[in-house]
Structure 1
Amino acid sequence: MRHIGTRLVALACFCLFGLAAGAYPMAGTWLPPILVAYAGLLWWRTQLWLPLLPALLPVLDLAPRTGWFVLEEIDLLLLLTAGFAYWRLPPAPAGSARWPWLFRLGLLLLGVALAIGLWRGLQPLPPIDANTFNNYLSPANALRVGKAWIWAMVLLPPLRHATGGKPEALLPGMMLGLLLVSLAALRERWQFTGLLNFSSDYRITAPFSGMHTGGAALDGYLALSLPLLAAWLLARNAPLRQLAALALLPLAWYAALATFSRGLYLALAAALGIIATSLLLRHAARAAAFPALAGAGLLVLLLDAAFRAGGYRAYLPLLGLLVAAILVSRRRLPLMLASLVLLGAMVPIYHGYYLNVRFASVGDDWSTRVRHWQNSLAMMRPGSGLFGMGLGSFPAAYHWNNPRGDQPPRYQFIDHGGNRHLRLVAGHYAAGYGELLRMLQSVSVQPRQRYLLAVDVWNSGPPAFLHINLCQRQLLYPQNCAATPLRQIPTGVTWQRYFYPLDAGPLGGDGLPVKLEMAVEGRRAVLDIDNISLRTVPDDHELLRNGGFSDANNYWFFSSDRNHLPWHIKNLFLNIYFEMGWLGLSAYGLLLFSAVCVLLRRRDAVWLAALLAFQVVGLFDSLLDVPRITLLSMLLLSAAALQAKESPP
């Protein structure tokens, strides 16, 4: 009977995959061959999902190109994963790995909290229209947030079977994912600031489109994955794994330092403290660990003195000499090299202008964060403390009910007279000014090519300014823009067609991504936009897709570059409480406590450091409002809590 049940689950997943793949806009992406290759590998060896899924989850992110963020490419990947895994899922043998009873109690409570939170978040039940699945203000945002928790529970039986109670089975996939994320971060830094420029206030997002409204998806991912490198670095009689860890460590550490995230710095310091303490407490490792750490500390003092005296011209040659000396000596090689990388790489960051600015503003930023938390709690309805306001409900609650009286900008697709168009609504702020919301589409332009931009605009309200630019942009922070003349759009009774000649200038010549962006500005300004076109001159080739918005958000994405508080509570635990109340927070606490107890009994400092580092970042950011981060953290938490047989939590 169990065999029939798992086969029915698999068939349901395959059917849902067919429906989702038919609806998802894959044209012009690499997603079809990726899905075909992934399905072929799972058909050949189903267990391959365990290394492949953690590697693909952080990097397979096409939302900036497709415009879709409720149904995502990872959902297609997960439907295939669940389909193949359940089709070949055998009955659990006696004595197989299982979760402690306290963890299972947490899962039960989480399931109840999730069901209630999903129902509450969907209220009032939204009509299915052009705005249902493309707007954080829609009640359907509950599905976007809730699906990650649901996927985590769906994958628990295959996870239990695939790991066999050994969480290290996830390490190859986590390390591959960390490599890909680190390379994406390095590429972004190289393109937009330069690798050694630590004075710019540019904040990287790497492959995480969920950061288009701010947030700390990259920080949370690095906090979760970077400490796991120590499992390979400290492995005994495993030179290949140690070599791989030493090669990956500088890339990942650079990516972490280049976030300029104070919360991530604190999280990684805590993780390093846990791992170092564990090494010093182990008698067998103490003789190697203490001299390695002390020696690396002295070498860092030398590097700091060199940087102060001669900048990179003195620092880089000395760093090379020290690395060469450690390689020649071959004494405590992995620990000495790792310690030198971790501490030595901090020297130029520490002397950078922007890091000092970040730490100088700690007091003001903390006060802002505390006020935001207080305001967030004040937005909760009376009596919602036990079960919460509902999944995904915070953006809408802030938009309509925040105590500051601000009304952030928003967008909406309007169906009128058989035609669909885009409506942009400017923000209304108590301070009188604030951040713009930008609609974006990736375009491929040629340097010094002339273009003609045309757009239909209707202003039925107060005078408004329309911003339309071509800019180099990864996700946030435009630069080197070719801007149309800023024009005030007067109030009118019908549509007006505007034409803007544009010269791309250097855009498109250096490989940096280019996006067309639109925004509206003005007090209580509302603009209707339709039939936007960007054509080459003189051959009249169209660059934009879905310029008439007949397919709603297809190929259009949005960003809020600087104002992030309307979209995030900025605390993981408050976020759970806001959405699922005390019930959800208690469930998460039970899961975390049970996993920590299991790891302490195993004396597994590496996994303990990774899980706790993630929670430290969560003290300052929501994290769980990004589905792929929620899912990945829950998979690692669940794998860490597995044990060979049931025992007290």
Structure 2
Amino acid sequence: MAALGVAPPAGLTGFGELRLSLPATKVQWLALAAGVGLGLVGAELAWHHPLSGPLALAAWGVVVLLAALFWVKTPVLLLAPLPLIGLAPWSGWITFEEQDLLVTACGCGGYLAYALQLNARDRAPAWRHALVYSPAVLVLILAVALWTLLSVKRGFDDAGGFAFGWFHGYHEAMNSVRNAKAIFLVLALLPLWTAAAAARPRGFSRGLLLGLVAALAAGSAAALWERLAYTGLLDFSTDYRTTALFWEMHVGGAALDGFLVMTLPFALLALLRTRSPWRFAVGLVIALLAAYAVLTTFSRGVYLALPLALVPMVLLADAQRRRAAASGADSSHIDSTLGAVDKPMPRLAKIGALGMAAAFALAAALVFGGGGYRGLLALFFVMVILLTMPASLWLPPLAQRLTALLMGGVLALLLGGASWALSMAVPKAAYVLNFIATLCCAALRWRDEPGRQRPIYVLLVTTAWFWLLATMVIVADYWGGTSGRWTALAAGLALAGVWAAMLLQPQLWPLQKAGAAGWRKRALLVAGLLLVMAIVAVLGGGSYLRDRVANWKEDGQTRLTHWRDGLHLLHGGEQWLLGKGAGRFVSSNLYEGPADSQIGDYRLRTDETEAFVALTGGKHMLGRGEQFRLSQRIAAPAPGPVTITLVSRTAADANLVLQICEKNLIYPDRCSSVEPLLKPVRAEGQPETGASAWQTSKITLGAVPALGGDWWAPRFVTFSMALDTRGARVDIARIAMQDSQGRQLLANGDFNREMARWFFSSDRYHLPWHIKNVALHVLFEQGLVGLALLGGAYALALVRLSFGRGRDHPLAPAIVAALIGFGTVGAFDSLLDAPRIGFLFFTLLLLGLGLRALPGEGVARVA
């Protein structure tokens, strides 16, 4: 059919003339139907968004347009904003969320662009397709999807039948949809991605990598903001585990943990592959931000998962490069962007590298213990100067190097003694001397003349570095006193011995033959130094992680007991075989579990006149963190008293806790609270056993201080309601709140918009909300058959990407690492009950079952 030429919109002239054609094949007609269907679903969801339907619809339309223009790289649009788009604490939506809008928008725009052949490009021949599924794999994927669909039906049945609701909680039927939807969201886009990988194999791979790295950057930046706003960057003692913007952790869980272990491998792989200095710098910043986020999760599962995942990734990436080099001996069909394969490091160089790493780790622990952060920073500059030592130092013969070493040590000892005396006499002189010594070392490095033997230059460099080492000890002594002095001195002697051995024996120096890529190796080593410093600071600078590590045995026993109690909720062979149904663990645990697992809840109810919320308290031991809270994010009230008007009823005495706090998700701070005792009020002639009458209460919430944090690190302000009486119930028909300036602070206080804008949390009592193991989670919801199907797909993806057709795809090592990391963290938490994490997992799993390298081209660099 004739193509239609359409003038491009303003600002898109770089695309040339947009070409549209009517569908010409059955596949294109199916794509058109899929695009229209996803468009109808997405527009309906956007229009019902609790915050603003028109605004959500407009944003959804913009994403549709972007997806149509860049349909090959829709993974960027989908994955990059993933950690930032959870607005449930503001909207009250948990069954549906912004991720669903994003998927439907990308699917609508992408399928329409494919069907109408928008800017169509020649389809690559079949042998160049980067995403191909064998019939057996397709059958396996279909079986997993159908079995998940069966678990949704069983979940509906267990909940008493299907009932649609925009604001259902964890106990109602729509929670089955929430728990199971992730795989179907990915499947909705998989045909589009298959077409994209056929049309632009490398473009699709680059889009996937860019989307995952951008997602990691966004999630790590959110974690950095949270620490900056709520604890301070270097506070590692406060009982505060980072949650970033993953609202799914409002009842505990490991959403952030799973996100980090599945995205960090892609950033590290890009860092190892890139040859561009500016991209390397950006990647290094992202990796360091992610490392900080990892450390501040204080998650033992993440700390275990990353080594288990990254070691195989490095081995698989190295095997890829070696296979590429071996197959391209004639260099005729290797991607020229790969560069030369690095030669293996000699054995003595490996020993030297290990010795240097061990000496620095020991020195960091010793210096930080006595000299604090200032001593650790001085040690860092010592190591940076060491890593930048020029190769010309090893040109003079051994006798001259030995002489320079001995004389340099003596001169540095004299300079160090004079510097110590000056630091005792002049305040802050220790820091100034350390800075001057660093400048001297840098100036000498700049004056290097490669290829020339200069024994005097070796003497000067050695003297300056030993002096810098001495000033590091002086800084630690100035800051930490006697303990800082002796621990830093021991660290300095260890480093001095390592450098002396390397100067005398060149084969021990790991960077002796760094070549043109030496700057990359040095930059990676400096990043490693920063990571070691961060680990030392977390372990030595705060007691929280040490306490968590010390309690691993008790926590493990608690987890085993919880797993056993959770499996006892499966009754009979049918439930063991088929599962109890998607999303049914929380409700089953509430009604059938131990008494201390009966948590608080809320339900929206209506009577003859109005809607109201029935708020109940748990039957477990209640404390400030264990209460079930119904909350709403509000604007910061004006300082002064806050007035609350409450219309409620109760059948028995109940303590209601009303609070305004600075709070991101589960850690309230700077709270103002009031705890009115609500008593039943009965109308004249009403029996004592009947329902209580509605009563209106006016409550003053003290003098609320200025809240909201600083402009550069804002804090969220949250109002919450909770019951401090075990097993109590309070019905709330209306609640309004005014600050000292008369501003109304609450939205939907009469619940006429159902539970829009209301959110709930259980800040510290988490076990009843999760079975805390991803395999047991699948077993509980889908039975042994579902576990076998998903486990088989997981194992097949790992084998295929490690040893099969997909092993030479450029992203294969990172996907393997991500899946291993997911499995390791999943050994201690459910993960799949967080839809965004489930979406990320199924994206990597299903792509891993089909990705393959382009034949004859080795490993393409996609960074």
Q: Where on the TM-score scale, by shorter chain, does this alignment land: which range?
A: over 0.9
- Provide the C-alpha distance between the structure 1 equivalents of 2:355 and 2:813, rounded to a whole number of angstroms: 21
Helix, strand or coil at the partner of 1:391: coil
Measure how far apart 1:19 and its partner are. Answer: 1.3
More displaced 10-residue stretch of structure 1: 555-564 or 34-43: 34-43
Which position in structure 2 is the counterpart of 1:377?
567
Note if contact 2:43-2:57 (Cα within 8 Å) is conserved in structure 1.
no
Deviation at 1:127, TM superposition (A): 6.2
Give matches, 1:401-416, under 5 Å.
401-404=592-595, 406-416=597-607
2:818 matches 1:628: no
The letter of the residue matching 2:380 is L
For residue 504 of structure 1, what is the aligned residue in structure 2? 704
> Using a 3 Å threshold, how does the CA distance of structure 1 residues 162 and 584 change in structure 2: closer, same or farther?
same
Task: Map 1:79-478 onto structure 2 (within 5 A).
Answer: 79-89=104-114, 94-95=126-127, 96=129, 97-123=131-157, 124-126=159-161, 128=163, 133-164=167-198, 167=205, 169-235=207-273, 237-277=275-315, 284=342, 286-287=344-345, 290=350, 295-323=356-384, 326=387, 330=518, 332-351=521-540, 352-382=542-572, 383-404=574-595, 406-429=597-620, 435-460=626-651, 462-478=652-668
729, 732, 748: which is aligned to 1:526? 729
Shift of 1:161: 2.6
Are the counterparts in 1 of residues 43 and 60 from structure 2 also a CA contact under 8 Å?
Answer: no
Q: Which residue of 2 aligns with 1:589?
A: 791
Matched-pair contact (CA < 8 Å) for 1:446–1:509: no
Distance verdict in 2 for CA 1:30–1:292, change over 3 Å: farther
RMSD over equivalenced CA pairs, Å: 2.7
Distance 1:51 1:93 in 2: 25
Q: Which amino acid aligns with 1:56?
A: P
CA distance, structure 1, for counterparts of residue 522 and residue 825 of structure 2: 31
C-alpha distance 240-313 of structure 1, shift in aligned 2 (>3 A): closer
Structure 1 counterpart of 2:428: none
CA distance in 1, matches of 2:524, 2:317: 11
Q: TM-score, normalised by structure 1?
A: 0.93
Structure 1 counterpart of 2:100, from 72, 75, 93: 75
Residues 445, 504 of structure 1: 8 Å contact kept: no
Q: Is the partner of 2:747 in helix, strand or coil? A: coil
For residue 420 of structure 1, what is the amino acid of its counterpart?
A
CA displacement at 1:627 relative to structure 2: 0.7
SS in 2 for 1:344: helix
1:76-99 per-position Cα deviation (integer Å, ceiling 9, x unaligned): 111111112222337896343312
Change (3 A) 1:26 1:568: same
Q: Which protein is richer in helix relative to its size?
A: 2
Structure 1 residue 153, shift from structure 2 partner: 1.4
Correspondent of 2:754 among 536, 552, 556: 552
* Aligned mates of 2:706, 2:623 — CA distance in 1: 35
**Alpha carbons of structure 1 residues 9 and 295: separation in structure 2 relative to 1, 3 Å:** same
238 and 139 in structure 1: CA distance in 2 versus 1, 3 angstrom threshold: same
Tell me, what secondary structure is at the counterpart of 2:781? helix
Unaligned runs of 5+ in 1: none
Rounded to whole Å, the distance in 1 between the matches of 2:621 and 2:758 is: 29
**Paired residues of 2:736 and 2:749 also in contact (CA < 8 A):** yes
How far apart are 1:625 and its partner, in Å? Answer: 0.4
Residues 406 and 430 of structure 1 are in contact (CA less than 8 Å); yes or no, is this contact kept in structure 2? Answer: no
Partner of 1:548, secondary structure, is: coil
Correspondence for 1:640: 848
Supply the AA of the counterpart residue of 1:422: V
Aligned with 2:659: secondary structure?
A: strand
Letter in 2 for 1:610: A
Supply the AA of the counterpart residue of 1:474.
Answer: N
Q: Deviations 1:454-493 (Å, cap 9, x if unpaired)?
A: 1112112x21100001001001011110112x22211222
Stretch of structure 1 that moved more, 330-339 or 194-203: 330-339
Is the 8 Å Cα contact of residues 167 and 755 (structure 2) preserved in structure 1?
no
Contact 1:203 1:259 (C-alpha < 8 Å) held by counterparts:
yes
1:132 deviation in Å?
6.8
Q: Is the 8 A contact 1:70 1:144 kept in 2?
A: yes
Alpha-carbon separation, structure 2, partners of 1:387 and 1:286: 51
CA-CA distance at 1:42 after TM superposition: 1.8
Q: Distance in 2 between matches of 1:433 and 1:303?
A: 39
Task: Spell out, residue by residue over 1:421-460, the C-alpha distance to the aligned partner (whole angstroms, 9 max, x if none).
Answer: 1111111138999921101111112452432111112112
Tell me the amino acid that sits aligned with residue 336 of structure 1: L
State the distance in 1 between where 2:231 and 2:768 align: 28
Q: Output the CA distance in 2 between the equivalents of 1:52 and 1:79.
A: 12
How far is 1:28 from its partner? 9.9
The secondary structure found in structure 1 opposite 2:575 is coil
Q: Pick the aligned partner of 2:43 from 18, 24, 29.
A: 18
Q: CA deviation at 1:218?
A: 0.2
Report the Cα offset of residue 314 of structure 1. Answer: 0.7
**Deviating more after overlay: 169-178 vs 594-603:** 594-603
The one-letter amino acid paired with 1:360 is A
Describe the SS at the equivalent of 1:380. coil
Could you say which residue in structure 2 is the equivalent of 1:605? Answer: 813
Secondary structure at 1:506 match in 2: coil
Paired residues, number: 643
- TM-score, normalisation: structure 2: 0.71
Higher mean displacement: 525-534 or 274-283: 274-283
Return the match for 2:678 from 473, 486, 489: 489
> Residue in 2 aligned with 1:61?
86
The alignment partner of 2:86 has SS state of coil
Q: Is the 8 A contact 2:737 2:744 kept in 1?
A: yes
Task: Please state if 1:513 is matched with 2:712.
Answer: no
| Displacement after TM superposition at 1:379 (Å) | 0.0
Aligned residue for 1:468, secondary structure, equals strand
Structure 1 residue 541 and structure 2 residue 743: aligned? yes
Q: Contact 2:774/2:831 (CA < 8 Å) preserved in 1?
A: yes
CA distance in 2, matches of 1:499, 1:261: 44
* Equivalent-residue separation in structure 1 for 2:705 and 2:376 (angstroms): 38
Displacement of 1:536: 2.7
In the aligned structure 2, how far is the partner of 1:182 from the partner of 1:402?
A: 37
Higher alpha-carbon deviation: 204-213 or 499-508: 499-508
State the alpha-carbon separation in 2 of the partners of residues 314 and 547 from structure 1.
Answer: 54
Q: Distance in 2 between matches of 1:113 and 1:212?
A: 29
Cα separation, 2, equivalents of 1:34 and 1:321? 51
How far, CA to CA, are the matches of 2:227 and 2:821 in structure 1?
A: 24
What is the distance in 1 between the residues matched to 2:581 and 2:124? Answer: 35
Decide whether the 8 Å contact of 1:58 with 1:207 is kept in 2.
yes
Secondary structure of 1:499's counterpart equals: strand
Shift in CA distance, 269/31, structure 1 to aligned 2, threshold 3 Å:
farther
- The residue type paired with residue 444 of structure 1 is A
After TM superposition, which residue ranges in structure 1, 4 or more long, deviate above 6 angstroms? 279-283, 430-434
Q: Which has the bigger relative contact order, CA under 8 A and spacing at least 6?
A: 1
Go from structure 1 to structure 2 and tell me whether the alpha carbon gap of 1:181 and 1:646 turns closer, same or farther (over 3 Å shift). closer
Give yes or no for contact 2:649–2:681 (8 Å, CA) kept in 1.
yes
- Please list every run of 5 or more consecutive structure 2 residues that lacks an aligned counterpart in the other structure: 1-25, 116-122, 323-340, 391-517, 683-692, 856-863
Find the aligned partners of 1:344 and 1:405 in 2 and give their Cα distance. 42
